[in-house]
Amino acid sequence: MRNVRLLAVGWVMHMKMLSTSSFNGLLAIVYPIFFATVAFFIYQAGNENALAYAGLGAAVMGIWGSTSTAAGAALQRERWHGTLEVLVTSPAPFSLVLLPITIAMASIGLYSMFSTLLWGRLLFGIHVPVHDWPLFCASILATILSIGMCGFLIAVAFVRYRTAWALGNLLEYPVWMVCGFLVPLHEFPEAVQWISRTLAPTWGMRAIRDASNGTPIVTDLLVCVALGAGYMLAGVILAERLLRSARAKATLSLT
């Protein structure tokens, strides 16, 4: 129960900090709307279903965009603030301290999701039908958690790099391309489709679209959650190894 409370309090505190940041507010709302507008203009040549496809894809793209760059720089930011050493030496496991940060980053993406769907509705007349609201909301929650756990793995994997934010930014565009946010996966070569199947956002996006269309989502939802759990486990193992190495070599601050 202490660990659950730590995760909950950490998520709430970081949500408050991210919500009051003008930079994150701009990133979460204006940035996705820009890409959504371009996608809407492109898909206007198609039918109403194509616009709904683009609307949901652009909305989920905002969740990933809020996480990838920010997660890459999560530990770098703590290093700049001089708090990384304090977090590492705290009695709580370091993974439980870091995980709420990246989940909060993904949760901020809900701002972009709602603003993108509202933007498409008001300016382009895009109506996204939802046949099963409980499953639709469950799919969004699973997608946020899996993307947050993916961000956790990214944050841990990039901790040794001084320009970790740039590496996180590098992953933004390729991931939302190969995960089928705006481009159907069958348009890609088979090798790219195999890569997309190893990424949780692919299955989260499929679950959201299936819930919207009224088709079964159980498989997509379970795979999305399983991959997110795998990211978390890999992040925990990698974090422990990196911390042991940093303590032995005194390289945590990269000085």
Helix (H) or strand (E) holding 185: none
Q: Walk along the chain (255 residues) and give the pLDDT tens digit of each residue.
A: 788 898 899 899 888 888 777 666 666 667 777 777 887 887 776 566 777 888 888 888 888 887 887 787 787 788 877 888 888 888 888 888 888 888 988 888 888 788 888 888 888 888 888 888 899 999 999 999 999 999 888 888 887 777 777 777 788 888 888 888 888 888 888 888 899 999 999 999 999 999 988 888 889 999 999 999 999 999 999 888 888 887 777 777 765
Which residue ranges make up each domain of the chain?
Answer: 2-249
CB-CB neighbours of 77 under 10 Å: 15
Q: In Å, how far from its chain's centre is CA 62?
A: 8
Radius of gyration of the chain (CA): 18
Residue in the block written with tokens 């890459």 = 72
CB 87 within 8 A of CB 97: yes
Residue 225 has which token pair?
């959650």
Which of left, alpha, beta for 214 (phi over 0: left; psi -120 to 50: alpha)?
Answer: left
Residue 90 has which token pair?
């705290």
3-state secondary structure of 45: coil
- Predicted TM-score (pTM) of this structure: 0.88
